[in-house]
Amino acid sequence: MTLENMEILRLDDSRSNRNDSTSSTESEGSEVDDTLLYHMQKKYLEEPEVDSFINFFGTSPCKLACERHLELMVLNKKGISSIGDELSLAPFVATVVDLDLAYNEINDWNVVAGLLNSMPLLKRLNLSHNPLQKQINTDLPQCSNIKSLLLNGTNLPLKSLAVICKKLPNLQELDLNKNDSYSKYDPFPEVVSATVTQLQLNACDFQDWNVVLHVIKAFPGVERLYLSENKISNVEPICPVTGISTTDITAKIKFLSLHNCSINDWNSIEKLDLMTRLEELKILNNPLFEQLPNEEKYHLVVGRLPKLKILNGSPITDTQREDSERFFIRFYQGHEEKPAIWNKLVSIHGNLEQLVKVDFTPRKWALVILRCEEKGICIRLKVRLTKTVMDLMKFASKLTEISVPLMRIFYHDIHVDSHGPTELRFPGQALQYLRIEDGDEFFIQSKILPPEKSVIRSY
């Protein structure tokens, strides 16, 4: 073998070794790609190639992390399933107060426990859309700072939620959206959390109001309840299976959202008054309102709910409430079956007369009489009221052969006959401003007409 061939072989071996080394490194890297530590370092510790990634404090995220000032950490859709080296992670996340790990692959509760241990100042935790195990198989640490927990799309049973919430004694907001398992009756009899005041159950496929009552029974402190995008079609006063009542279960609720649900009868709106402290309601996009004008549906909801203070984000003033209640009385005056609250409103406002409907739409046409005595002309004419006095004079000029510069035109309102004709001296004036009615008259004269034949002298 020649020296040249040996050199070529040596070079090939070197390249092969380099490739093997690179492959090994990549393989090792791929093993840690699913760790929180890896993605946190990549996003918050590696300096960006350009200086454009600077936050509003004038500091890059990596510098914030290095200086231990990192408070918000967002790592969505990274495929994270584990933490990595917790000892290496802890110094950089000790000041984190808001952690968002939605849409990852976390299923082990030991990972969640490790996160909570590493972030003692955490106030908001988002684990939405992670494949978390239904049963909690580890002892979670006590976290008194967490006030907001998001578990959308996790379908954790109420029993597991109770285990979590016991470790969060100051939890106030709990998001359980897109958990369709809650639409099926879960006979869990205990309280999940007594501290939660805001509960979100949007898009959970609820159809039965009684199942809704059973779920919120586990959260007796709730004041703000979100039930948007569910298939709820009616509201029931009492559950026939368990005997629990809407009034008892919703005793503290002040805000309710039923946006984009399936409410299709007024009885369900009336039964919302069973929620004794309800002050604010969002109820747009329900089948009940599809064919109703905005004003009408507003009045018919406000009239039914006397305690309501805000509807669909708009405060209800005292004047607006009175207007709605009066509208409500008149609306049902001719109906044989009247809502239960109708008599109460009549006792307040009286049995009101129907309002006269007045059409304020401007008229577009009028049938008038056009006279020109010197030419012996008297015709009925349909005039467009959006035209001007000049337009009418031009038409009269063709009819009478009196040129516009030599023409005088008078308007006579027959409904105010004593005033006589009035000369129109402004050619640009729109006819609609004369308030012309059918039967009114216009007189055409020539400016050179002798005074004794003037139309004014004849009145």
Q: What is the 3-class SS of the chain, one letter each residue?
A: CCHHHHHHHHHHHHHHHHHHHHHHHHHHHHHCCCEHHHHHHHHHHCCCCCCCCCCCCCCCHHHHHHCCCCCEEECCCCCCCECCCHHHHHHHHCCCCEEECCCCCCCCHHHHHHHHHHCCCCCEEECCCCCCCCCCCCCCCCCCCCCEEECCCCCCCHHHHHHHHHCCCCCCEEECCCCHHHHCCCCCCCCCCCCCCEEECCCCCCCCHHHHHHHHHCCCCCCEEECCCCCCCCCCCECCCCCCEHHHHCCCCCEEECCCCCCCCHHHHHHHHHCCCCCEEECCCCHHHCCCCHHHHHHHHHCCCCCCCEECCEECCHHHHHHHHHHHHHHCCCCCCCCCCHHHHHHHHCCCCCCCCCCCCCCCEEEEEEEEHHHCEEEEEEEECCCEHHHHHHHHHHHHCCCHHHEEEEEECHHHHHHCCEECCCCCCEHHHHCCCCCCEEEEEECCCCHHHCCCCCC
Delimit the CATH 3.80.10.10 region(s) of the chain: 43-349
Question: What would you report as the CA-atom Rg of the chain, rounded to the nearest whole angstrom?
Answer: 39
Whole-number Å distance between alpha carbons of 409 and 443: 6
Higher pLDDT pick, 157 / 459 = 157
- Residue closest to 207 by CA, chosen among 239, 224, 229: 229
What is the reported pLDDT for 432?
Answer: 86
SS3 15: helix
What is the reported pLDDT for 276?
Answer: 95
- Rounded to the nearest integer, the mean pLDDT of the chain is 85
Kindly state the percentage of the chain with pLDDT values over 90: 65
Tens of pLDDT, residue by residue over 27-65, are 344 445 889 999 988 888 776 554 444 444 444 555 555
Average pLDDT value for residue range 357-379: 83
Tens of pLDDT, residue by residue over 303-337, are 999 999 999 999 999 999 999 999 999 899 888 89
Which 8-state DSSP code applies to residue 190? S
Delimit the CATH 3.10.20.90 region(s) of the chain: 365-453
- Residue closest to 327 by CA, chosen among 360, 280, 283, 292: 292
Whole-number Å distance between alpha carbons of 206 and 232: 6
> Where does the pLDDT of residue 393 fall: very low under 50, low under 70, confident under 90, or very high at 90 and above?
very high
The CATH class of the 43-349 domain is alpha beta
Average pLDDT value for residue range 370-389: 91
What is the reported pLDDT for 454?
Answer: 54
Tens of pLDDT, residue by residue over 139-154, are 999 999 999 999 999 9
What is the reported pLDDT for 101?
Answer: 97
Average pLDDT value for residue range 8-36: 47
What is the reported pLDDT for 79?
Answer: 95
Tens of pLDDT, residue by residue over 251-296, are 999 999 999 999 999 999 999 999 999 999 999 999 999 988 988 9
Checking if the pLDDT of 372 tops 60, the result is yes
According to the CATH classification, is domain 365-453 in 3.40.50.300? no
Higher pLDDT pick, 355 / 165 = 165
What is the reported pLDDT for 113?
Answer: 97
Q: What is the pTM of this model?
A: 0.70
What is the reported pLDDT for 449?
Answer: 60
* Angle, CA of 279, 243 and 238, to the nearest 5°: 40
What is the reported pLDDT for 435?
Answer: 85
What is the reported pLDDT for 70?
Answer: 86
What is the reported pLDDT for 12?
Answer: 41
What is the reported pLDDT for 353?
Answer: 60
Checking if the pLDDT of 99 tops 50, the result is yes
Q: Which amino acid is at 354?
A: Q
The distance between the two most distant Cα atoms of the chain, rounded to a whole number of Å, is: 138
> Where does the pLDDT of residue 360 fall: very low under 50, low under 70, confident under 90, or very high at 90 and above?
low
Tens of pLDDT, residue by residue over 181-220, are 999 988 888 999 999 999 999 999 999 999 999 999 999 9
Whole-number Å distance between alpha carbons of 131 and 151: 11
Q: Which amino acid is at 136?
A: I
Whether the Cβ atoms of residue 230 and residue 206 lie closer than 8 Å to each other: yes
Average pLDDT value for residue range 94-115: 96
Whole-number Å distance between alpha carbons of 214 and 328: 34
| Tokens linked to 10 | 């040596």
- Residue closest to 423 by CA, chosen among 379, 377, 387, 456: 456
Checking if the pLDDT of 98 tops 80, the result is yes
Average pLDDT value for residue range 446-450: 74
Whole-number Å distance between alpha carbons of 249 and 262: 22
